[in-house]
């Protein structure tokens, strides 16, 4: 609800479900830490879905078939890892992303703009942790997008403020040195030069003052 200039927001509420169901969002969720009362130590959501997740008994035949095919085809079984920044994912990572997307549901009540997040899991503790993480990740994404323009404006204003300040100090130093070296000389030419430098100092200070104000506003 913050007005940062009145520009049209590219990310409307209608697009939030697409953000949540994206691969990047699922990969971010896969790195969150989860822990249940049955587990000795916490682990990533990725490892939980890979090693600790439970399946209904009627899904076992399909799971066995997929496992057999996986061995024959030879899938890449590399884990995601927090340090991974590569722009490709393995088959296993893609399968985990699809599992996450099937368990995280996102709905919007259009009339009142209320967002509801529902997470399904066999363990209620994991469902609660993931639901909180979905809200936090989405909130951070929206905040980062909506403040990105303002942050860029502030960075530009800061650089402009620094450069105008440096210019003002340089012009002022030139004026002071000229006055100090010509105190005993009162020729019309030197007087005109002194007045010109004084105006340069005034203009440089005005530019610096304006840039400083713009930085404070940004």
Per-residue pLDDT reduced to its tens digit, 68-100: 444 444 444 444 444 444 457 788 888 888 888
**Nearest CA among 119, 114, 109, 133 for reference residue 27:** 133
Residuewise pLDDT in 10s, the chain (218 residues)? 445 554 555 556 677 777 888 888 888 888 889 988 888 888 999 888 888 876 544 454 554 545 544 444 444 444 444 444 445 778 888 888 888 888 888 888 877 778 888 999 888 999 999 999 998 988 888 888 778 888 999 999 999 999 999 999 999 999 999 888 877 767 888 888 888 999 999 999 999 999 999 999 99
Contact predicate 103/120, CB 8 Å: yes
How many Å is the Cα radius of gyration of the chain?
31
Phi, psi (deg, nearest 5) at residue 9: -75, 120
The C-alpha atoms of residue 45 and residue 16 are separated, in whole angstroms, by: 22
DSSP letter at 50 equals: I
Residues 6+ apart with CB under 8 A from 154: 215, 218
Name the strand (E) or helix (H) holding 61: helix 60-73
- pLDDT tens sequence across 184-208: 767 888 888 888 999 999 999 999 9
Name the strand (E) or helix (H) holding 117: strand 114-119
pLDDT of the residue at 78: 43
**Nearest CA among 166, 156, 172 for reference residue 208:** 166
């Amino acid at each position: 609800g913050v007005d940062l200039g009145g520009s049209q927001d590219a990310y409307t509420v209608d697009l939030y479900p697409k953000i949540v169901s994206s691969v990047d969002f699922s990969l971010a969720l896969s790195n969150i830490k989860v822990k249940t009362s049955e587990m000795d130590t916490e682990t990533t959501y990725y490892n939980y879905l890979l090693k600790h997740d439970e399946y209904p008994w009627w899904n076992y035949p399909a799971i066995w078939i997929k496992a057999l095919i996986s061995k024959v085809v030879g899938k890449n079984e590399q884990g995601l890892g927090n340090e991974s920044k590569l722009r490709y994912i393995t088959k296993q990572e893609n399968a985990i992303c699809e599992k996450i997307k099937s368990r995280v549901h996102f709905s919007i009540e259009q009339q009142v703009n209320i967002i509801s997040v529902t997470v399904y899991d066999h363990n209620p503790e994991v469902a609660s942790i993931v639901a909180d993480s979905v809200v936090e990740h989405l909130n951070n994404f929206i905040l980062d997008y909506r403040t990105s323009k303002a942050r860029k404006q502030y960075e530009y204003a800061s650089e402009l403020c620094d450069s105008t300040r440096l210019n003002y100090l340089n012009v002022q130093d030139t004026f002071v040195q000229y006055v100090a070296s010509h105190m005993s000389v009162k020729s019309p030419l030197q007087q005109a030069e002194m007045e010109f430098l004084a105006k340069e100092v005034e203009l440089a200070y005005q530019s610096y003052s304006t840039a400083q104000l713009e930085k404070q506003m940004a």
